[in-house]
């Protein structure tokens, strides 16, 4: 009976940890006042010339939810140069977040990474479609 109980407990622990989603990206818990998007030049460099400056609250919310819903990918994936550089600016006195974006095709996943980091984070395809709409409309 004890063996059966240990087996059941072990099974549920393995199931619980096996179903835990990957780490997500973080943003400061502060008001975002602007999201700047620029054409990326290469990985490890931030292009300061903004192609797009987003101050609309709804569009900022899309970028915020895209970043926060992105899950760290566990597989080793060598990426080409990013499509865009993204800077998330907060109200005065708070540091900005700088990241790269590989924008997926329609109905495909996109990839984010922090400017100073090795991990990559994958967004759902629905998010890619929203990002594509914002970036292409400007």
Provide the pLDDT for residue 75.
Answer: 60
Asked whether the predicted pLDDT for residue 77 surpasses 90, the reply is no
Asked whether the predicted pLDDT for residue 61 surpasses 90, the reply is yes
Asked whether the predicted pLDDT for residue 45 surpasses 50, the reply is yes
Q: What are phi and psi of 11, to 5 degrees?
A: -60, -45
Asked whether the predicted pLDDT for residue 17 surpasses 50, the reply is no
Task: List Cβ<8 Å contacts ≥24 apart for 47-56.
Answer: 47/85, 50/87, 51/84, 51/138, 52/134, 52/135, 52/138, 54/134
- Summary mean pLDDT of the chain: 82
CATH of domain 23-137: 2.60.40.4400
Domain definitions of the chain by residue range: 23-137
Provide the pLDDT for residue 85.
Answer: 95
pLDDT tens, position by position, 78-97: 678 899 999 999 998 899 99
Q: Which of 107, 104, 112, 111 minimizes the C-alpha distance to 126?
A: 107
Higher pLDDT, 129 or 45: 129
Residues in the chain, overall count = 138
pLDDT tens, position by position, 95-116: 999 999 999 999 999 999 988 8
Provide the pLDDT for residue 19.
Answer: 40
Q: What is the mean pLDDT of residues 17-21?
A: 44
């Amino acid at each position: 009976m004890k063996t059966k109980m240990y087996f059941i407990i072990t099974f549920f622990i393995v199931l619980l940890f096996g179903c835990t989603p990957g780490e997500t990206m973080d943003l400061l818990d502060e008001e975002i006042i602007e999201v700047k998007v620029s054409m990326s030049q290469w990985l490890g460099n931030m292009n300061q010339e903004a192609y797009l400056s987003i101050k609309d609250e709804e569009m900022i919310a899309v970028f915020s939810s895209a970043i926060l819903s992105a899950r760290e990918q566990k597989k080793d994936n060598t990426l080409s140069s990013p499509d865009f550089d993204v800077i998330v600016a907060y109200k005065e006195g708070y540091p900005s977040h700088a990241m790269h974006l590989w924008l997926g095709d329609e109905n495909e996943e996109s990839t984010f990474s922090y400017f100073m980091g090795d991990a990559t984070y994958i967004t759902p395809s629905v998010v890619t479609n929203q990002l594509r709409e914002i970036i292409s409309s400007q």
